[in-house]
Amino acid sequence: MKPPRNRTPEREARPALNEPIATRRVLTRRDGPLPGEAVPVILEVAPNADYALLDSGNGRKLEQYGPYRIERPEGQAIWLPALPQSEWAKADAIFTGDTDEEGMGRWRFPRTPLGETWPMKHDGIDYLGRFTSFRHVGVFPEQGSHWSHMETLIREAKRPVRVLNLFGYTGVASLVAARAGAEVTHVDASKKAIGWARENQDLARLNDKPIRWICEDAMKFVEREARRGSRYDIILLDPPAFGRGPKGEVWQLFEHLPAMADICRDILTPKPLAVVLTAYSIRASFFAIHALMRDRFAGMGGRVESGELVIREKSAGRALSTSLFSRWVAA
C-alpha cells in the first residue's frame, strides 16, 4: 500500500534532520519552589447529546457525532465490542483507510452518500463536523474537559481575560473562550484549518467576538509575542508529535516542547490563570510532561495537574484513553 498523500493538517510527515527549526532557546533553571501537584488526574467526557462513544472493540470504535453514527479504527480497543453487530451495521460513515485518494476518498457511506460536512454542536455552540482524509472529523471531543475548565476560569475571573490557543485546528476551543467573554488569539499552521475555524465562527454566530485567526508556526509566533511583550492569561496548547509551520518550519514535540513551555511562561500576564498542555500519539507517560511543566513553572506558585483525557463508552462503561495532559493552574 502506498503511503497516504495529502496529509491532513493534524498529522505531518517526520522531517528530515537538516531542516530549519524555529527556536534555539537554551533553557536555564527557573528559580523558586516547584508548583504543587496533583497526579494522576483523569478527565472524562461522558456520553452526551452532542457526542457519544457508543461502543468499542476489535480495533474499532463506534461514535455518535450529532446526527451521524461513525465507525473508525481505534488501536487501543483490544477488547471485544459490547454491542451486537446489528448496531455497528447502522453506521452512517466508516473510515476504511484502504485507498490513498484525497479528501473524502477514505470514507465509505453504507446508507446514503454524505457531504463533506455536517452540523454539530458543542454545549450550544454550532460548528461543522467534517470527514477529513486522515480519519479525523473536525473535532476532538475529549478536549471538552479542558474547554469547560477554561470556560469556568474565564467566567469566574470577572475581568478581561486574554486566551492564546496554539495548534488551534478548527477552533472550537477558541469559540468556547470567546463566548465566555475572553479576547482570543488562535494560531495554526494550516491555512485550511484556519478557514474551517472561521467558518465555525460564522456558524456559531460569534462574529462579534474578538478572535484573531493567525496562520503561523506556533513556535515562531510565541517567540515574537515574547519579544513584543504581548501577554496572555490562559494558554492552550495541543501540539502534534510532528508538524510543520506554513513555511516548512519543523515541530518535533520531544525536541521543541521544553522551549515552547518555557516561552509560554514568559508570555503570561502578571496574574495568569492557566497553561493547558495536551499531548497525543507519543511514547511518553504523563509524568514526563508533568515534570516538564513543574520544572518550567517553578516559582509561579499554583499547581500542576496531570493525567489522561478519556472518553467513557456508553455500551459497557469502559474508558478509552485519548491523550496525556498537564496543566498549570494558578489557584
Ligand X SMILES: C[S@@+](CC[C@H](N)C(=O)[O-])C[C@H]1O[C@@H](n2cnc3c(N)ncnc32)[C@H](O)[C@@H]1O
Residues 3-42 as x/- pattern, contact with ligand X by CB under 6 A: ------xx--------------------------------
Closest among 112, 203, 117, 201 to 165, alpha carbons compared: 201
Binding span for ligand X by CB under 6 A among 25-33, 44-52, 68-76, 235-243:
235-243
Q: What are phi and psi of 24, to 5 degrees?
A: -125, 15
C-alpha 328 chain-centroid distance: 17
Binding span for ligand X by CB under 6 A among 63-71, 110-118, 236-244, 296-304:
236-244
Q: Report the residue from 54, 150, 176, 193 that binds ligand X according to the rule CB under 6 A.
A: 193
230 grid coordinates: 504581548
Binding span for ligand X by CB under 6 A among 42-50, 51-59, 68-76, 186-194:
186-194
Binding span for ligand X by CB under 6 A among 46-54, 58-66, 115-123, 164-172:
164-172
Amino acid making up residue 53:
L
| Closer residue to ligand X, CB minimum distance, 56 or 165 | 165
| Closer residue to ligand X, CB minimum distance, 64 or 190 | 190
Q: Give the integer Cα–Cα distance in Å for 255 and 269.
A: 26
Q: What is the largest CA-CA distance in the chain?
A: 60
Residues 247-276 as x/- pattern, contact with ligand X by CB under 6 A: --x-x-------------------------
Closest among 220, 204, 298, 315 to 260, alpha carbons compared: 220
The DSSP-derived string for 262-306 is HHHHHTB-SS--EEEEEE-SSS--HHHHHHHHHHHTTTS-SEEEE
| Chain residues in the site for ligand X (CB under 6 A) | 9-10, 140, 143, 167, 169-170, 172-173, 187-190, 193, 217-218, 238, 240, 243-245, 249, 251
